[in-house]
Amino acid sequence: MMMADIMKCSLCKTNPKIYYQRHSGLNFCKECFIKYILKRARKTIGRKNITKDMTIIVGLSGGKDSLVMAHVLKELYKPIPNTRIIGVMVDEGIEGYRKEGITHAIEFCEEYNMEYKIATFKETVGYNLDEIVKIAKEKNVNLNPCTFCGVIRRKILNKVSLNENADYLAIGHNLDDIAQAVMMNYIKGDINKLAILGKDAGSSLFVKRMKPLQDIPEHEVLLFADLIGLNYHKDPCPYSSISYRAEVSDIVENLEKKHPGTSYSIVSGFKKLIEHIPVEKNMSICKYCGEAGSSEICKSCALLENLGIRV
């Protein structure tokens, strides 16, 4: 009786199941689940991109998503000759939060024998995020910390990628992250952001992006991280709770609980929609920093100028 209760893996039919995937109805054992995630990511990246002489910059926060992504990339490119996978940690300067994430990322890179770089807000734009948020508050500029952070972080990651002549910048967004971002821009009615979310800018000024985990739901990324024994940073960013995104994240999470597959349907509908939407390609060089932007002043310089702290 007790033995019969142990469910077997639907794939290998041998090992005990450790995970039941609701939408497919499949049971997975540890080994088959790990293989499945690698296969899923390989499909997302595309066979033609897993080829020799590639340079990939990997944004590493030290959290589960970025470290799982880096692990997956290391595995998938292991048999490929002459591939460079370089981790980049961006230190925004968030007191009591960022240092621990970077520590985890460094430990990961050392364990995986992965080249890495650390870039800071301070050395790039002259101020760290805590200082920028404080100044914005003092000047009564009502902008979410996540907006500053996202704009500057993207600028830094793009800059490092161009400096390294990278083929791709890999970002650890999972399916839930993408569903949230899509919903947020649906609600805001921001179709330019939707277009950028779904497609590359198509300009040599912006390195192409790769999101190996984009088809994998967050809880599967988490399970994978724990199964392979990753030591990742678990704390949430202290600024995240006050973001609009957190509100939308709650909405999507609640819908997903009541109607499993909601994140997937949001993203798959979005992908179909976005095929028809043209990306605005008026890229230019920022007259202040000389880097890529969508108008004559890049978003990062515009935000800092608005605060009177553009260096």
Would you list which residues are annotated within the binding site for Zn(2+)?
9, 12, 29, 32, 286, 289, 298, 301
Which of these, 92, 283, 116, 287, lies nearest to 202 by C-alpha position? 283
Q: Give me the least distance between CB of 178 and a second copy, in Å please.
A: 13
Give the chain's radius of gyration (CA, Å). Answer: 20
Binding mask 80-109 for a second copy (x = CB under 8 A): ------------------------------
With CB under 8 A as the contact rule, the residue among 123, 226, 247, 305 that binds a second copy is 247
Of 120-128, 148-156, 177-185, 231-239: span binding a second copy (CB under 8 A): 177-185
Three-state SS annotation for 57-76: EEECCCCHHHHHHHHHHHHH
Find residue 146's DSSP bridge partners: none
Find residue 168's DSSP bridge partners: 56
Which of these, 154, 121, 307, 150, lies nearest to 244 by C-alpha position? 150
The kind and range of the H/E element at 148 are: helix 145-163
Cα–Cα distance for residue pair 296/13, rounded to 1 Å: 60
Cβ-based nearer residue to a second copy, 236 or 269: 269
The kind and range of the H/E element at 209 are: strand 209-210
Binding mask 135-174 for a second copy (x = CB under 8 A): ----------------------------------------
Q: How far, in Å, are 32, 89, 171 from residue 218 at the CA level?
A: 18, 21, 14
Cα–Cα distance for residue pair 223/226, rounded to 1 Å: 5
Q: Give me the least distance between CB of 186 and a second copy, in Å please.
A: 5
The reply to whether 23 sits near a second copy by the rule CB under 8 A is: no
Q: Give me the least distance between CB of 44 and a second copy, in Å please.
A: 18
Cβ-based nearer residue to a second copy, 20 or 244: 244
Binding mask 179-198 for a second copy (x = CB under 8 A): ---xx-xxxxxxx--x----
Cβ-based nearer residue to a second copy, 52 or 276: 276
Assess contact for 41 and 50: CB atoms under 8 A.
Answer: no
Q: Give me the least distance between CB of 165 and a second copy, in Å please.
A: 34
Cα–Cα distance for residue pair 304/122, rounded to 1 Å: 13
Which of these, 75, 74, 76, 89, lies nearest to 49 by C-alpha position? 76
Find residue 120's DSSP bridge partners: 91
Count of chain residues binding a second copy (CB under 8 A): 28
Binding mask 251-280 for a second copy (x = CB under 8 A): x---x--xx--x--xxxxxx-xx--xxx--
Q: Give me the least distance between CB of 39 and a second copy, in Å please.
A: 23
Residues of this chain that interact with a second copy (CB under 8 A) are: 182-183, 185-191, 194, 244, 247, 251, 255, 258-259, 262, 265-270, 272-273, 276-278
